[in-house]
Chain A
Amino acid sequence: MMAINMKKGSPITDKIFKYVAIGAATYVLAIIIMIVVNLTTGSAQVWQQEGISFLTGSDWNSVEGRESYGAAPYIMGTLVNAGIAMAISIPLSFGIAMFLSELAPKLLKTPLAMVIELLAAVPSVVYGLWGLLVFRTYIQDWIEVPLHNLFGDQSIIFAGTPFGLDILTASIVLAIMIIPTIASISKEIMLAVPNSQREAAYMLGATKWEVFRLAVLPYSKSGLIGATILGLGRAVGETMAVTMLIGNATGAAAFPSSLFGPGQTLASIMANEFAEASQGGLHLAALVGIGLILFIMAFAINVVAHLLVARVVKSHEGAVLA
């Protein structure tokens, strides 16, 4: 691509240009490193005070003199919340993606795809507002109360008086939020499957579903896994909607047990308690420490997702070239 040898006799302006470009690219790496450094130093106090029990403990007390911080309930809360949301959104998203790439008549395809894509752009705080003011009552009246009446307090996951601001509502709204993301990416991945693959399956006498199972699904499998993990990354880090809906328990009470009980996630505890934390105090250090835990979780998830997606791209190029 280098049409001209840039090393020899390259004018100073070109060199400056190149270094500015390198500098801008390095800025990204610098930001990531600074995030790690700042979150670590900002939370040093709490790690010194609590040690490993910051990860494993479940006390959360910010009253001066009795301060104690443990993030375990919020880690669990994040995982449970994201887990339920994924369980709901994965089948629905794949259904939408399959419909858009394989089944939908053209008249329906373009507008539906457009609506889904636009919904991915709706800010999370709007989903939160809708969940709080509209969806909550529906969840409470149509799902929670009947389930509670049916199973009662004896069952663990349906125990507690349904209130609408709880793990279930937060998870469902979270699921609604990530569906557009997973569905749009999955649709693109399915559309990238060459038609010759589908024709091969049709030739064997396959029905539409069998074509999907035989030709489309195996070909796009790793890409779909990548899309799912990207969705998981967003679910784990999602803040506003969850904060507005999850009921915000603290300490041991935030350990997720009943779907109808209030919970707390890593992101929501930060958003909720930040205003109360005094500068320089242990409470603030604890919240920054929570940020560090969330950072590490999200970082790991995204690295895996991107490695998978990169591998998909490579293997697909191989399939085309071979």
Chain B
Amino acid sequence: MMETVTKIPATENATEDIKYKLVAENISASYDGIVAVKNVSMKFRDKAVTALIGPSGCGKTTFLRCLNRMHELTKHATLTGRVLLDGEDLYSNKVDPIINRRKIGMVFQKPNPFPTMSIYDNVACGLKLNGVKDKKIINEVVEGCLKMASLWDEVKGDLKKPGMSLSGGQQQRLCIARALAIQPEVLLMDEPASALDPIATQKIEEMIQELKKEYTIIIVTHNMQQATRVSDYTGFMYLGDLVEFGETKQIFENPRNEITAKYVQGQFG
């Protein structure tokens, strides 16, 4: 753990015509005077799952929250750098954050359904917020999203029940459905399975495999097995630095950095 962190740039063995959906440039972020992310740059490919791994407190969650301007809602937060979505700067003064947040869905570590709303309304509220009026379309989207979150079969009979009546795993899938309903282009997941049992976790992982056919997915995880199962690319963060970034297979089987190697072998974390 005493080694100095030497950064290895992300490998660029593919040609430039690969489409990057989301590009983070030189992101540095802090809150409460603690520097959580130090000058991290990363490119996320379309229709792929990128995992961010690293020990607790390495800044991976903070980095994720910078990607949809959620970080600036934290108390005493500071941030520098750029995030480009399809080449457009999210942090440009010209665009209100609400315009881009809706293109980037987010699933939080702890399930946070709206407690006073029914299951149906939890999914539908984002649609209503963004001006969908057609009841038929709302019904279709709610059903489709609950199916994608593999929750439909469990709740189709009682959509009017409050969202809080569901179990923890079901609540998390409800939150995923809520995030999918606004038809985002990117999906950010902050340890979505950390509070869940193995069966619920498996369901969510299967769902991620399904969703990546259409979405750019970025998932923060503590669980290295999970990263190997679901992701195509993996970034390893340590003490606010992006230590290594590459294809998941390479990171886990053939890490170039010593710290990465120690981490993926489970020597610390």
Binding site for B on A (CB under 8 A): 194-200, 202-207, 210, 214-215, 218-219, 221, 315, 318-319, 322
B102 in complex: contacting residue of A204, A221, A322, CB < 8 Å: A204
Could you tell me the distance between the alpha carbons of A315 and B116 in the complex, rounded to whole angstroms? 10
Contact A204 B126 (CB under 8 A): yes
Contact B112 A202 (CB under 8 A): no
Contact B114 A204 (CB under 8 A): no
Contact B112 A219 (CB under 8 A): no
Contact A203 B164 (CB under 8 A): no
Segment at the A interface, from B51-59, B139-147, B174-182: B174-182
A319 in complex: contacting residue of B68, B70, B164, CB < 8 Å: B164
With both beta carbons as reference points, the residue of chain B lying nearest to A215 in the complex is identified as B114
Contact A196 B164 (CB under 8 A): no
With both beta carbons as reference points, the residue of chain B lying nearest to A196 in the complex is identified as B112
- 1/0 per residue, CB under 8 A from A, across B164-187: the answer is 100010010001001100100000
Q: Is B125 positioned at the interface, with any CB of A under 8 Å from its CB?
A: yes
Segment at the A interface, from B14-22, B103-111, B216-224: B103-111
With both beta carbons as reference points, the residue of chain A lying nearest to B168 in the complex is identified as A322
Could you tell me the distance between the alpha carbons of A218 and B112 in the complex, rounded to whole angstroms? 14
Q: Is B130 positioned at the interface, with any CB of A under 8 Å from its CB?
A: yes
Binding site for A on B (CB under 8 A): 68, 70, 73, 98-99, 101-102, 105-106, 108, 110, 112-117, 125-126, 129-130, 164, 168, 171, 175, 178-179, 182
B106 in complex: contacting residue of A203, A215, A221, CB < 8 Å: A203
Contact B129 A202 (CB under 8 A): no
With both beta carbons as reference points, the residue of chain B lying nearest to A221 in the complex is identified as B116
Q: A204-B102, A205-B101, A207-B98 are in contact. Are A198 and B182 (CB under 8 A)?
A: no
Contact A203 B70 (CB under 8 A): yes
With both beta carbons as reference points, the residue of chain B lying nearest to A203 in the complex is identified as B106
Could you tell me the distance between the alpha carbons of A154 and B58 in the complex, rounded to whole angstroms? 74
A202 in complex: contacting residue of B101, B114, B171, CB < 8 Å: B101
* 8 nearest A-B residue pairs (beta carbon): A205-B102, A204-B126, A218-B116, A196-B112, A203-B106, A319-B115, A205-B101, A205-B98
CB of B127 to closest CB in A, whole Å: 9
Which residues in B have their C-beta under 8 angstroms from that of A200? 108, 112-114, 175, 178
Could you write out 30 A-B pairs with CB less than 8 Å apart?
Answer: A196-B110, A196-B112, A197-B114, A198-B73, A199-B70, A199-B108, A200-B108, A200-B114, A200-B175, A200-B178, A202-B70, A203-B106, A203-B179, A204-B102, A204-B130, A204-B182, A205-B98, A205-B102, A205-B129, A205-B130, A206-B98, A206-B129, A210-B129, A214-B125, A218-B114, A219-B116, A315-B115, A319-B164, A322-B164, A322-B168
Contact A205 B115 (CB under 8 A): no
Which residues in B have their C-beta under 8 angstroms from that of A199? 70, 73, 106, 108, 112
Contact A205 B114 (CB under 8 A): no
Contact B125 A204 (CB under 8 A): yes
Most chain B C-beta atoms within 10 Å of own C-beta, residue among A198, A215, A221: A215
Q: A196-B110, A197-B112, A215-B114 are in contact. Are A202 and B73 (CB under 8 A)?
A: yes
Contact B115 A219 (CB under 8 A): yes
CB of B118 to closest CB in A, whole Å: 12
Which residues in B have their C-beta under 8 angstroms from that of A221? 116
Which residues in B have their C-beta under 8 angstroms from that of A205? 98-99, 101-102, 126, 129-130, 182
CB of B159 to closest CB in A, whole Å: 18
CB of B176 to closest CB in A, whole Å: 12
Could you tell me the distance between the alpha carbons of A206 and B126 in the complex, rounded to whole angstroms? 8
With both beta carbons as reference points, the residue of chain A lying nearest to B100 in the complex is identified as A205
Could you tell me the distance between the alpha carbons of A319 and B171 in the complex, rounded to whole angstroms? 12
Could you tell me the distance between the alpha carbons of A318 and B112 in the complex, rounded to whole angstroms? 13
Q: A319-B115, A319-B164 are in contact. Are A203 and B68 (CB under 8 A)?
A: yes
Could you tell me the distance between the alpha carbons of A205 and B115 in the complex, rounded to whole angstroms? 19
Which residues in A have their C-beta under 8 angstroms from that of B117? 218
With both beta carbons as reference points, the residue of chain B lying nearest to A213 in the complex is identified as B129
Could you tell me the distance between the alpha carbons of A203 and B182 in the complex, rounded to whole angstroms? 10
Could you tell me the distance between the alpha carbons of A212 and B180 in the complex, rounded to whole angstroms? 22
With both beta carbons as reference points, the residue of chain B lying nearest to A217 in the complex is identified as B116
Could you tell me the distance between the alpha carbons of A218 and B108 in the complex, rounded to whole angstroms? 20
Could you tell me the distance between the alpha carbons of A219 and B163 in the complex, rounded to whole angstroms? 13
Which residues in A have their C-beta under 8 angstroms from that of B171? 322
Most chain B C-beta atoms within 10 Å of own C-beta, residue among A204, A215, A315, A318: A204
With both beta carbons as reference points, the residue of chain A lying nearest to B98 in the complex is identified as A205
Which residues in B have their C-beta under 8 angstroms from that of A315? 115
Most chain B C-beta atoms within 10 Å of own C-beta, residue among A210, A318, A319, A322: A322
With both beta carbons as reference points, the residue of chain B lying nearest to A218 in the complex is identified as B116
Which residues in A have their C-beta under 8 angstroms from that of B116? 218-219, 221
Which residues in A have their C-beta under 8 angstroms from that of B178? 200, 204
Could you tell me the distance between the alpha carbons of A214 and B129 in the complex, rounded to whole angstroms? 9
Which residues in A have their C-beta under 8 angstroms from that of B182? 204-205
With both beta carbons as reference points, the residue of chain B lying nearest to A214 in the complex is identified as B125
With both beta carbons as reference points, the residue of chain A lying nearest to B113 in the complex is identified as A200
Could you tell me the distance between the alpha carbons of A319 and B98 in the complex, rounded to whole angstroms? 27
Which residues in A have their C-beta under 8 angstroms from that of B164? 318-319, 322
Which residues in A have their C-beta under 8 angstroms from that of B125? 204, 214
Could you tell me the distance between the alpha carbons of A315 and B105 in the complex, rounded to whole angstroms? 28
Most chain A C-beta atoms within 10 Å of own C-beta, residue among B108, B129, B168: B129
Which residues in B have their C-beta under 8 angstroms from that of A318? 164
